[in-house]
Amino acid sequence: MIRHPSAIGALRHDRLDAPWVIDGAMNSEIFTLYTETQLVPTLREGDVVILDNLSSHKALVAAEVLHSIGAWFLFLPRYSPDLNPIEMAFSKLNNLIRKAAART
């Protein structure tokens, strides 16, 4: 049973991609595992991955995996939640997941 669910995923212009739910907070090890097993299979050479400045997003292995498939990655400026639409989407999604978990 997941006690502290957190949603991870990629937001494309037309859909949510590579969704994943973890138990607890994100860290570099989990982000690298997510990148290798969930995100990379959805990417093509030349795709751009835009990340916020969460420290786990700066995992060296995850960056190497993205580079190895020819994907680019860019970091948003610090403290720019209005420039990060995935924050709003995941805030709503995490609330729904927590409510559902509380009922079970």
Structure confidence at residue 82 as a pLDDT band (50, 70, 90): low
Mean pLDDT for the chain overall: 86
Q: Please, are residues 42 and 71 in contact by the beta-carbon 8 Å criterion? A: no
pLDDT mean over 6-22:
88
Q: Are strands 48-51 and 72-75 parallel, antiparallel or unpaired?
A: parallel
Count of residues in the chain: 104
Segment 78-100 mean pLDDT: 75
Q: Select the more confidently predicted residue: 102 or 67.
A: 67
Provide the H-helix boundaries in 1-104: 28-34, 60-68, 85-103
41-74 pLDDT tens trace: 999 999 999 888 888 999 999 999 999 999 998 8
